[in-house]
């Protein structure tokens, strides 16, 4: 972070700097606890100059949120190569990288923060969820999902959000275990749906067909068999 150093910047460069400074501060504490004075000091400029680039803290928060939302949405992008379970696990590891790096800001966004409830904030949150949804469908090779598959994928995305929030509150469960558990959760949700719908059954069989012996899907099957025995 740049501190206490003044230098002339262009308008866009200064705006991007302020967004970056705000994001860094929001990653350490809830945005509610970060003042414009702190942001100005960290950026090496005066408080009035911050207001020259952003009308207020809310507009700066929304700009920082937009950058964070784009970053988070990008964590779900994964080449369609290799077994589905391994791909989902890589996605979850990148997702938790973000949560780990931006804990207070992520928590404030999902639980309530200075911009929560605004049209801009709601649209950004929805854009991340939609990007995740589209990417997961891409992993499954589906462009026109049946209703049950949409329910499974959207439910799983909500579960990942809730799990991350609970994990941030004390981090009582090892992060790597949760990443694997969420991949297991996806398979479990799909399996329950498949028990009620043959189309989902075919999708699940296709996903499991190339699951390696050391993959997360095979691991889940083994754990369930052990429980049932």
80-95 pLDDT, tens digit each: 888 999 999 999 999 9
Q: Which pLDDT score is estimated for 116?
A: 52
Percent of the chain scoring above 70 in pLDDT: 93
Mean residue pLDDT across the chain? 88
**More confident of the two residues 118 and 181:** 181
Cα–Cα dist 7/42, whole Å: 13
Which pLDDT band holds residue 201 (cuts at 50, 70, 90)?
A: very high
Residue 5, pLDDT > 50, answer no
Three-class SS string for the chain?
Answer: CCCCCCCCCCHHHHHHHHHHHHHHHHCCCCHHHCCHHHHHHHHCCCHHHHHHHCCCHHHHHHHHHHHHHHHHHHCCCCCCCCCHHHHHHHHHHHHHHHHHHCHHHHHHHHHCCCCCCCHHHHHHHHHHHHHHHHHHHHHHCCCCCCHHHHHHHHHHHHHHHHHHHHHHCCCCCCHHHHHHHHHHHHHHHHHHHHCCCHHHHHHHHHHHHCCCCCCHHHHHHHHHHHHHC
Q: Are 11 and 53 contacting, i.e. CB atoms less than 8 angstroms apart?
A: yes
The tens digit of pLDDT for each residue in 17-34 reads: 999 999 899 888 877 788
Residue 192, pLDDT > 70, answer yes
Which pLDDT band holds residue 3 (cuts at 50, 70, 90)?
A: very low
* Length in residues, the chain: 229
Q: Which pLDDT score is estimated for 209?
A: 84
Q: Which pLDDT score is estimated for 112?
A: 53
Q: Which pLDDT score is estimated for 90?
A: 96
**More confident of the two residues 67 and 10:** 67
Q: Which pLDDT score is estimated for 121?
A: 77
The tens digit of pLDDT for each residue in 44-81 reads: 999 999 999 999 888 888 888 888 889 999 999 988 88
The backbone torsions φ and ψ at residue 4, rounded to the nearest 5 degrees and listed phi first, read 65, 15
**Average pLDDT of the residues in 124-144:** 91
Percent of the chain scoring above 90 in pLDDT: 54
């Amino acid at each position: 972070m740049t501190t206490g150093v003044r230098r002339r910047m262009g308008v866009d460069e200064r705006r991007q700097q302020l967004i970056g400074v705000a994001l860094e501060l929001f990653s350490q504490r809830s945005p509610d606890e970060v003042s414009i004075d702190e942001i100005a000091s960290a950026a090496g400029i005066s408080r009035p100059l911050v207001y020259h680039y952003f009308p207020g803290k809310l507009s700066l928060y929304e700009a920082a949120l937009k950058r964070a939302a784009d970053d988070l949405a990008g964590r779900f992008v994964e080449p369609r190569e290799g077994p589905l379970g391994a791909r989902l696990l890589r996605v979850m590891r990148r997702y938790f990288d973000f949560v780990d790096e931006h804990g207070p800001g992520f928590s404030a966004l999902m639980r309530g923060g200075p911009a929560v409830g605004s049209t801009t904030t709601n649209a950004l949150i929805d854009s991340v969820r939609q990007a995740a949804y589209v990417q997961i469908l891409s992993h499954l090779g589906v462009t026109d999902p049946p209703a049950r598959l949409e329910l499974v994928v959207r439910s799983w995305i909500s579960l990942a959000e809730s799990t991350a929030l609970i994990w941030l509150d004390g981090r009582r469960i090892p992060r790597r275990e949760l990443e694997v558990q969420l991949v297991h959760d996806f398979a479990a949700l799909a399996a329950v749906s498949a028990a009620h719908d043959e189309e989902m059954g075919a999708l699940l069989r296709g996903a499991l067909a190339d699951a390696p012996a050391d993959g997360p899907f095979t691991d889940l099957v083994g754990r369930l068999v052990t429980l049932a025995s």
